[in-house]
Amino acid sequence: MSEKMVEITLSGECTIYEVAEWQNKIIDKWSDLSQSLNLNMADVSDVDASFVQLLLSCKKTAHANDAQCHLINPPSTLQERLKNMHLEEILSDDN
């Protein structure tokens, strides 16, 4: 695993209306998939299932490349959404 990390700060709503934009930003900034990814979510106000899918994809991609994807400061809206979807483990850095 590489010690270098890419950090991306997300803000506002992270819903189906913005998910393509966030996906493109992640792809642009995280070009070296061997680097771990930090997604700072301190300023995120709302999330939906399409954004959860993007997070799952980031976690899966990181794992496949022996890197990690960390969710920094996940908002309560994300925590509640993950709980409702029975996906609380996404918040763990072990996955």
Return the higher-pLDDT residue of 58 and 91: 58
Please compute the mean of the pLDDT values over residues 15-24 and round it to a whole number.
97
Mean pLDDT value across the chain: 92
Structure token digits, residue 64: 């496949």
Domain that residue 15 falls in: 5-91
Q: Are 43 and 10 in contact (CB under 8 A)?
A: yes
Q: Convert 55-81 to b/e letters by CB count within 10 Å (16 or more is b).
A: beebbeebeebebbbbbeebbebbeeb
Element (H, E) at 14: strand 5-14
Q: How many domains does the chain have?
A: 1
pTM of the model: 0.89
pLDDT > 90? residue 10? yes
Q: How confident is the model at residue 94 (pLDDT cuts 50, 70, 90)?
A: low
Report the CATH number at residue 29.
3.30.750.24
DSSP state of 91: G
